[in-house]
Amino acid sequence: MIAIFIYNIVLIVLYTITMSTSLIFYLREKRKIFLAFSVYLSFFILDNVIIYMTEFFNTFAHQYNQTFMSVPAAKTIIFVVNAFCSLWIVNLLAKSKIKPYQNALLIVLAVWMLLTPLLANSAFKVWLYYLPNQLFLFYVGTYAWGRYKKTEGLSPTEATYLKRFAILAIVFSLAILLEDTFVIFNIDQYTSLTIKIYNRNICEDIFSILVCVLGLNYFLRGNSQQVAEAEEEVQEERLFEQFCTAYQFTQREMEIFRLLLEHKQNQEIADELFLSVGTVKTHVHNIFIKLDIKKRTQIQGLYEKYKLDLDAKLLGN
């Protein structure tokens, strides 16, 4: 019992330190990802406190387990909020918004977990209750992986943490489900006379610990890297605008030149800017005249030479 007590204290301290660090960063920088992580961790703390009480107070454990089998409101709220926060964090890292179908998935998750307790008491009923939560975590992991693979518009730091969270979510959603299956069907008891539930999932604890480690790493290292990357992007944008001004590009020519630097073909440029291919060809021709070049392959070299010459001038000054 002493080991379990110390284990719980260590978990709560870790969650609290991570949540406090996230809140400090949110108050300082007002970035939503820090707020999302703070809410996420606060429900980690709440869940662990409830589990801790079921492990040390028999009366509370009996009442909680009885309620869980009929109206598991507390556990459902914790699961739904955690599911929402994990999806929120992934979308913030991916620079996207939560999509309508994802909101629908959250609603389905909540309804499933509210209706399942209406079934007759059995191990299968409890397994069905936990199942959608792990499936949703698996979905979040695969969604994060998909966003990581589409790295366009993401900084290296955002892509890296999307990948790490994706791997954690995919691996541990399966591990948690396997542990739930074993414990529910082999250790817990759900007879009419005896209800004994082992509420702690060790794989879930390991997942939460690794999430904390990942979060602290992001707060203390990844965030500073992301700030540096943002400053580099601003500098790159200024340089791009200076180049376009030096060659007297129009606003439309600037837009097309940016896409030419990304090696886009005329049809791709036309589709992205909602122009006809003929109009794009005309603008590309005008850009070539202003740059005094004849081939697309010369564009990147000319732009890189301009950046090097500018850097040399700045160093010379």
Residue 311 pLDDT? 63
CA-to-CA dists, residue 98 to 37, 94, 154, angstroms: 16, 10, 17
What is the spatial distance between Cα 5 and Cα 199, in angstroms, rounded to a whole number?
15
* Per-residue pLDDT tens listing for the chain (317 residues): 788 889 989 999 999 999 999 999 899 888 899 999 999 999 999 999 999 898 888 888 888 888 888 888 889 999 999 999 999 999 998 888 899 999 999 999 999 998 998 888 888 999 999 999 999 999 999 999 999 888 666 777 888 889 999 999 999 999 999 999 999 999 888 775 667 888 889 999 999 999 999 998 888 775 555 555 556 667 777 888 888 888 899 999 999 998 998 888 999 999 989 999 999 999 999 999 999 888 888 888 888 888 787 766 655 55
Cα separation, 118 vs 238, in Å, equals: 61
**Positions of E strands within the chain:** 189-190, 195-196
Q: How far apart are CA 175 and CA 202, in angstroms?
A: 10
Give this prediction's pTM. 0.72
Give residue-wise pLDDT tens across range 251-274.
Answer: 999 999 989 988 889 999 999 899
d(CA 181, CA 196): 15
Q: Model confidence over 167-216: pLDDT tens digits?
A: 999 999 999 999 999 999 998 887 756 678 888 899 999 999 999 999 98
Gyration radius of the chain's alpha carbons: 27
Beta-strand ranges (E) seen in 115-260 are: 189-190, 195-196
